[in-house]
Structure 1
């Protein structure tokens, strides 16, 4: 039995080397591509035409192949998937030393949104076989317009827990090479390039975190800015809203404001905002 297992592993290793050459041709050099749900793949086994299969990976990452039991393939590289398929055909007593070839016929779309002061707002696709960086995404969207505020590019990203994280990035420093590191983008990222107009930044527990422009003909108050950002979420701690601003001497200041009280009693105590103010709405304690 031990001898048979060693023989199988040796054959599998040789098979994978042969397959790697095939995949380099059939999948256009994407052997290190990590398979994702909705990828449409083709599985071939050398001299086993009946086991040929074209199929789409299910939303839960599972693949259904001929004879062997369904299993989760999403998250594996093509090379790993080939070895796992070969192993399963052997373990389930169908084939002794299968030579498996996996190729991707249609990649699951991955994209980011580039909005605001770029020439062509819209989606930018992430290449299937390499990274997409922030500066490249902006370039793919036609580059900055003349009104772009390059020092305050905003990146919104949803983390694994479903929370929206907002980052402000100095893209001008990145493009000039004078400081800052380019940022690798992931599926679903939203890049917003603001303009030079006066604005405030509303972050935290609001429905649409991001920049809110100050109208040129009137004031903008704290409650109005929160409303323009979609209003509070149900998790917002309205009594502990933070307002951060820089005073006339360039010193940072932080104020804690009970917005619930302002909204309930009277808006006469509402606070006028200034260009560059940052409003952060924390999550309430549960």
Structure 2
């Protein structure tokens, strides 16, 4: 008992923020602590919640938020809670009870029982496209792509995330490989319920004429014409690297014919033609 009193005395001498952090670590498991820290969580369709009103056990309700974001609560009726924080939802219920004169000074507490409405859609060039639940409020882009089996070989490096943040449209293009290769960890963003994650096809170029393996190939980062030729197996014995022709679309979609050098960059949808040597 004496040791515990000494510990409490030490706590009282610490700054308030440090004390709160310590209490969070002591009283909660890591998963629970993460939930407590996520005070800005917004309710979504499918979430299961428990509503308690202090000293009013008859008003305790376990319910699930409907597809349109509403619940039906005793005495008040329909309430729109989808998109609200827990605190805002508590205030909304308290206001309804107070204005209806059902409870003089209601103290409402909402507990999040299950985050089920929090699903994201993963579309495009992934192994298992579909909808996936967010089991926690700290799910990152890499976690969701792993659920979908990862990006396929034909998938782009750019991953597009669209959704709603704080009531406003959200759109972000993430250079996914750079998260790991260049340490851009801030780009590994947190995803939210309702997000749509899209992986487009990787850009390609076409090569034909006097090359070993004419065909369609992926445009790699900072790729040059020389590297593009190497992917095609190199120039054949009958070909020449003099006067390499590149057919390229301009901003209007018109095709332009360009004479290209070996170290010129390759762009998406380029058509590279290697002509036959005259000698």
The alignment's TM-score, normalised by the length of structure 2, stands at 0.50
- What's 1:99 paired with? 107
3-state SS of paired residue (2:250): strand
Q: 1:77 to 1:174 in 2, by over 3 A?
A: same
3-state SS of paired residue (2:252): strand
Alpha-carbon contact 1:117-1:194 (below 8 Å) kept: no
Measured in 1, the distance between the counterparts of 2:179 and 2:251 equals 32
Larger of the two Rg values belongs to structure: 2
Q: 2:121 aligns with which of 109, 112, 122?
A: 112
Q: Which has the higher strand share?
A: 2
Deviations 1:55-107 (A, max 9, x none): 22233323211112423222221122222222221221111222222123333
| 1:181 equivalent in alignment to 2:173 | no
Measured in 2, the distance between the counterparts of 1:80 and 1:192 equals 35
Unaligned 5+ segments in structure 1 are 1-20, 201-215, 221-247, 259-269, 279-286
Measured in 1, the distance between the counterparts of 2:91 and 2:172 equals 40
Measured in 2, the distance between the counterparts of 1:112 and 1:158 equals 10
Alpha-carbon contact 2:45-2:65 (below 8 Å) kept: yes
Q: 1:63 aligns with which of 58, 67, 71?
A: 71
Measured in 1, the distance between the counterparts of 2:91 and 2:124 equals 42
| Deviation of the 1:110 alpha carbon | 1.1
Unaligned 5+ segments in structure 2 are 1-23, 207-212, 218-243, 257-265, 271-279
Alpha-carbon contact 1:117-1:193 (below 8 Å) kept: no
Q: 1:41 aligns with which of 23, 44, 49?
A: 49
3-state SS of paired residue (2:110): strand
| 1:254 equivalent in alignment to 2:250 | yes
Measured in 1, the distance between the counterparts of 2:73 and 2:195 equals 30
Q: What does residue range 16-55 of structure 1 map to in structure 2 within 5 Å?
A: 28=32, 29=35, 32=39, 33-55=41-63
Q: What does residue range 81-96 of structure 1 map to in structure 2 within 5 Å?
A: 81-96=89-104
Q: 1:134 to 1:199 in 2, by over 3 A?
A: farther
Q: What does residue range 218-257 of structure 1 map to in structure 2 within 5 Å?
A: 254-257=250-253
Q: 1:34 to 1:249 in 2, by over 3 A?
A: farther
- What's 1:135 paired with? 142
Deviations 1:134-174 (A, max 9, x none): 233234445567x4767x234364789xxxx9976432222
- What's 1:276 paired with? 268
The alignment's TM-score, normalised by the length of structure 1, stands at 0.49
Alpha-carbon contact 2:45-2:82 (below 8 Å) kept: yes
Q: 1:78 aligns with which of 82, 86, 91?
A: 86
